[in-house]
C-alpha cells in the first residue's frame, strides 16, 4: 500500500513521474513531490508539520497544496528501496539496516511528544481521534519501498498515507514483516533480500526489535501483532478495492491471498522468531 519514489523517465507534464508504488501517480517537480490529495491529507500534514517543528528530518516536509490542488512534499534525495519482484539494494538487506529501521521507528514515535491530532481530521482508514494512553500515530507502512537511504548513510521514510493512531508495536509488526522478510514465498525472500535462510531472518527480526529498544511487554506482544498486521492488511486491501481501482487491481492480482499465506507461514514459525 505504497507510493515509493524512484525516478523513471519520461517526464510527465510539469515533472518526472516517480515509480515504485502501486496506488497513485507521483510526480517530482524540482525539489518537491506532487501527489493527489485525499480526505486524510490534512491529518497527515499536521503530523509532518509537527515533525518539522521538533527537528525530525527523516521524513518529508509538508509544503501543502499547489495550483492544481495536489499535495506538495519535499523530495528526499537518495536510494529508494524497491517494491518486488526486483532485489532491494544491498544496503537494505543487512542486519544493520533492520537495526537502523527499528531506530527510525523509535525516533519517529519519540518525536511525537506533545503532538495531539485534531479529532476532527480523519485518517485514511479510520475517523480522527486523540491517541489513547500509550498510543502514538503509527506510520503503518514502513516497508523498504517507502525508505530512502540518504547520502549520509541514514534512512528516511516517506508515504504517510496510512498513518493513524495506534499501538507502537503496529509499526514494528509491519516493518518486521517487510524487512525480515516474513514471507511464505521463501524463493522471493532469497531473490529480493539475498537469503531464504531462517537464521538470517531471525537475526534481522532481532536486530529490528533491538534497534527500537523494545521493552519486555512489547517484545512479548510482537508475534501476535505481526499476525494481526497481516490479516488486517489483507482485509483493508479488499475494503479499499471497492473504492479505488488501483487497490482493485491488487486484489485481482491475488495480493490478499498471498498476505494470508504469509500469516499462515508466520503462525507456524512464530515461536522460532519469538526466541530470537
Which residue, 92, 81, 83, 101, is CA-closest to 174?
A: 101
What pTM value is reported for the model?
0.91
Evaluate whether 105 touches 142 at the Cβ level (below 8 Å): yes
* Residue linked to cell 543487512: 94
Spans of all domains in the chain? 6-74, 79-274
CA–CA distance, 44 with 21 (Å, rounded to integer): 19
Of the candidate ranges 80-84, 186-190, 206-210, 224-228, the one whose mean pLDDT is the lowest: 80-84
pLDDT of 109 above 80: yes
Evaluate whether 102 touches 219 at the Cβ level (below 8 Å): no
Q: How far is CA 75 from CA 17, 35, 85, 158, 260, in A?
A: 13, 12, 25, 9, 34
pLDDT of 170 above 80: yes
Mean pLDDT of the chain: 91
Evaluate whether 18 touches 8 at the Cβ level (below 8 Å): yes
Phi first, then psi: give them for residue 156, nearest 5 degrees.
-125, 155
**Any idea which fold 79-274 has?**
Aminoglycoside 3'-phosphotransferase; Chain: A, domain 2 (3.90.1200)
pLDDT by residue (tens digit) across 124-169?
999 999 899 999 999 999 999 999 999 999 999 999 999 999 999 9
Strand partners, 166: 136
Encode 140-149: b = buried (16+ Cβ within 10 Å), e = exposed.
bbbbbbbbbb
% residues pLDDT > 70 (the chain): 91
Evaluate whether 64 touches 172 at the Cβ level (below 8 Å): no
Q: How far is CA 215 from CA 173, 174, 222, 227, in A?
A: 15, 18, 11, 20
The confidence band for 243, taking pLDDT boundaries of 50, 70 and 90, is confident
User: What mean pLDDT comes out for the span 184-203?
Assistant: 97
Which residue, 222, 193, 228, 186, is CA-closest to 206?
A: 222
CA–CA distance, 13 with 3 (Å, rounded to integer): 19
Amino acid at each position: 500500500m505504497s507510493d515509493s519514489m524512484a525516478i523513471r523517465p519520461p517526464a510527465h507534464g510539469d515533472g518526472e513521474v516517480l515509480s515504485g508504488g502501486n496506488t497513485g501517480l507521483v510526480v517530482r517537480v524540482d525539489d518537491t513531490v506532487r501527489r493527489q490529495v485525499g480526505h486524510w491529507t490534512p491529518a497527515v500534514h499536521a503530523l509532518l508539520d509537527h515533525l518539522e517543528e521538533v527537528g525530525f528530518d527523516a521524513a518529508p516536509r509538508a509544503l501543502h497544496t499547489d495550483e492544481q490542488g495536489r499535495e506538495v512534499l519535499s523530495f528526499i534525495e537518495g536510494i529508494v528501496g524497491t517494491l518486488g519482484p526486483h532485489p532491494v539494494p544491498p544496503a537494505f538487506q543487512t542486519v544493520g539496516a533492520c537495526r537502523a529501521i527499528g531506530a527510525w521507528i523509535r525516533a519517529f514515535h519519540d518525536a511525537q511528544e506533545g503532538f495531539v491530532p485534531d479529532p476532527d481530521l480523519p485518517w485514511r482508514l479510520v475517523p480522527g481521534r486523540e491517541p489513547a494512553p500509550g498510543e502514538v500515530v503509527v506510520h503503518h507502512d514502513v516497508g523498504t519501498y517507502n525508505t530512502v537511504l540518504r547520502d549520509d548513510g541514514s534512512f528516511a521514510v516517506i508515504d504517510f498515507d496510512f498513518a493513524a493512531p495506534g499501538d507502537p508495536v503496529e509499526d514494528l509488526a509491519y516493518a518486521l514483516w517487510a524487512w525480515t522478510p516474513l514471507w511464505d514465498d521463501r524463493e522471493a525472500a532469497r531473490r529480493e533480500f539475498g537469503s531464504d535462510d531462517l537464521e538470517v531472518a531471525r537475526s534481522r527480526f532481532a536486530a529490528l526489535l533491538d534497534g527500537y529498544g523494545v521493552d519486555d511487554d512489547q517484545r512479548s506482544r510482537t508475534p501476535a501483532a505481526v499476525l494481526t498486521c497481516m490479516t488486517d492488511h489483507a482485509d483493508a486491501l479488499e475494503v479499499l478495492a471497492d473504492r479505488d481501482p488501483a487497490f482493485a487491481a491488487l486484489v485481482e492480482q491475488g495480493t490478499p491471498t498471498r498476505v494470508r499465506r504469509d500469516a499462515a507461514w508466520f503462525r507456524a514459525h512464530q515461536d522460532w522468531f519469538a526466541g530470537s
